Structure 1
Amino acid sequence: MAKKEKERELDEYLDHLYIHVNEVEHFALFSGLTVQQFIRSFSDLPALLLLNHQYEDASFNIHTQLEFIVQDQYLRFVKDYAERPIALCLMDFTDEKKLNMLSPQEQAELLYIAHKKEAFRSPFYHHLLNRFVYLTDEDNEITKIYFRDMADLHILIAGVFNQYISDKSKSTAFWRKKNNVVLSQLSVEKIEEHEDFYEDGVLMSLYKMDKTNYGLEIRSLPEDIFPDEVLGDLKQHLEKPADLLIVVS
């Protein structure tokens, strides 16, 4: 079995995600993550405050002089972003009335986060009840997400790979005589079981094991690696045997 894993070719892998977690400051760095995947994983968020963007159909809040979108705009927003990706900073919030309660100091902090891509104190606000702050560059090579509850990290990781499996299954459903196959699902619990790996930086690689099962390989990477270079150096990283294999069934 070990020999087979070692000989897997690059083109046999279906999807890759790099993750490096900073538990102390409650954020994670990603490579291979898109805003579409993030919003699909948390489509129940009531609204998104756009701190840095170029979306033209957003609503405007007079108090903060900032723009925002609500749930029924998410699909249009991600479609627009896919067509012209730019540097992006957004955070969720519960109600526009809560935006009107932000103090000048809090509004200044939001602008600081959007400009510096970092927070000088906790970026979670009592009035907004936000769960996330999402930041990415124009090339989508590095994404940084602050999590109020790090349990949401596990939901996001499982969601990204389950989205891929679901989309892959839908693309082949037309050719099936019977479309009653139960889809493989990566459970949040399986991701959470191995959370200690993520603090040092890991490459997670998905491949198909057989007709119904997928394998998710986890490889620890050096701490001093540049996240934006990981996916460009996949061949080199995949030459190292996986530290862990999660069977997705």
Structure 2
Amino acid sequence: MAKKEVRDMDEYLTHLYVHVNEVEHFALFSGITIQQFIRNFTDLSALLLLKHGYDDASFNMHTQLEFIVPEQYNHFIKEFAEGPFELCFMDFEDERKLNMLSPQEQAELLYIAHKKEAIRSPFYHHLQNRFVYLSDEGQKITKIYFRDMEDLNHLVANVFTGLIGEKSKSSAFWRKKNNIVLPRLSAEKVTEHNELFEDGVLMSLFKTDKLNYGIEIRILPENIFPDEVLEDLNLHMAKPSDVLIEV
């Protein structure tokens, strides 16, 4: 893989750490937020809150756990932003299906929330859940289980595309005038580099010119602590990138 030039730190717009475990169907992230996650998956029917600090959730008698529905997502995001709390949740399709969970399955949910790991596959037939989302109060590391790993590629792509949109708002006047479409990172482009994610990578977004962006990928050493990656940016960014994605 061709080496790329080393840029000044102030040229970068954001950084995202991704480390994927394909076998166990989860990824570790640093630099992703609950706001980005929920806004990316707006079609989720409901969220079962395994560990949280949200006060306005509904209560399920069978599991004695709380949950929220799509109408509450925006308020939930706002509450979290105002006072971050440790957060563990999973999606589910229908509250009636919660009442079908066995004692063993309910115990597994409590274990996931406490240990942030699964005893077995954390995807339940009754719930038809696509995700399990686990993070600490500081969101230094977020662990997400994906039923379909392709959802991971869409999440990464949409996080960067959303950030590009936010960074481009200040220049909206010329964009409207010239009918210019904002660059988008496709899930297909992310998929092309999936094999690198198994080693743990740092993805760094920068603007190449007035219209275009690039994402540098750096493969990180195995002995790093994932929750310290963004704190040690200067160390990692001093090394040339391994891959450049043009957006």
TM-score bin, normalised by smaller chain: over 0.9
- Which amino acid in the other structure matches residue 146 of structure 2? F
Cα distance between partner residues in 2 of 1:4 and 1:49: 44
Q: Aligned-pair distance for 1:176? A: 6.2
2:239 aligned residue: 240
- For the residue of structure 2 that corresponds to 1:11, the secondary structure is helix
For each residue in 1:30-52, what CA deviation from the matched residue of structure 2 results, as whole angstroms up to 9, or x when unmatched? Answer: 11111111111111111110000
Secondary structure in structure 2 of the residue aligned to 1:178: helix
Task: Describe the superposition over 1:6-53 as per-residue Cα deviations: whole angstroms up to 9, x where unpaired.
Answer: 2x1101100100011111111111111111111111111111100000
Q: Is residue 13–residue 206 contact of structure 1 (8 Å, CA) maintained in 2?
A: yes
Uncovered stretches (5+) of structure 2, i.e. residues with no partner: none
- Secondary structure of the residue aligned to 1:112 is helix
Matched, 1:146 2:145: yes
User: Structure 1 residues 168, 189: closer, same or farther in 2, change over 3 A?
Assistant: same
Q: Map 1:51-90; keep pairs closer than 5 Å.
A: 51-90=50-89
Give, in whole Å, the separation in 1 of the partners of 2:89 and 2:53.
12
- Classify 1:219/1:14 alpha carbon distance in 2 versus 1 (closer, same or farther; 3 Å): same
What's the Cα RMSD here? 1.5
- 2:191 is matched with 192
Aligned to 2:214: 215
CA distance in structure 2 between the aligned counterparts of 1:127 and 1:146, rounded to whole angstroms: 17
- Give per-residue Cα distances to partners, 1:149-202, cap 9 Å, x unaligned: 111110111011011011222344267672732010000000001100000000
Aligned to 1:23: 22
Cα deviations by residue, 1:110-148 (Å, 9 ceiling, x for unpaired): 011001111111100000000110000111100001111
Alpha-carbon distance in structure 2 between the residues aligned to 1:100 and 1:171:
49
Alpha-carbon separation, structure 2, partners of 1:18 and 1:134: 16
Equivalents in 1 of 2:174, 2:84: separation in Å?
Answer: 33
1:57-206 pair list within 5 angstroms: 57-173=56-172, 178=177, 180-206=179-205
> What secondary structure does 1:5 align onto?
coil
Could you tell me the TM-score, scaled by structure 1's length? 0.95
Distance 1:56 1:178, change over 3 A: same
Q: Name the CA distance, whole Å, in 2 between partners of 1:153 and 1:68.
A: 23
Asked if the contact 2:4/2:240 (under 8 Å) is kept, the reply is no
Separation in 2, partners of 1:113, 1:84: 23
Equivalent residue of 1:49, what SS? strand
Aligned counterparts of 1:198 and 1:4: Cα–Cα separation in 2: 19
| Higher deviation after alignment, 52-61 or 171-180 | 171-180
Structure 1 runs not aligned, ≥5 long: none
Runs of 4+ in structure 1 off by over 6 angstroms are none
Q: Percent identity?
A: 72
- TM (normalized to structure 2)? 0.96
Aligned length: 246
Q: d(CA) in 2 for partners of 1:172 and 1:52?
A: 41
2:245 and 2:3 map into 1 onto residues whose CA distance is: 17
2:54 alignment partner, SS class: coil
Conserved 8 A contact 2:218-2:242: yes
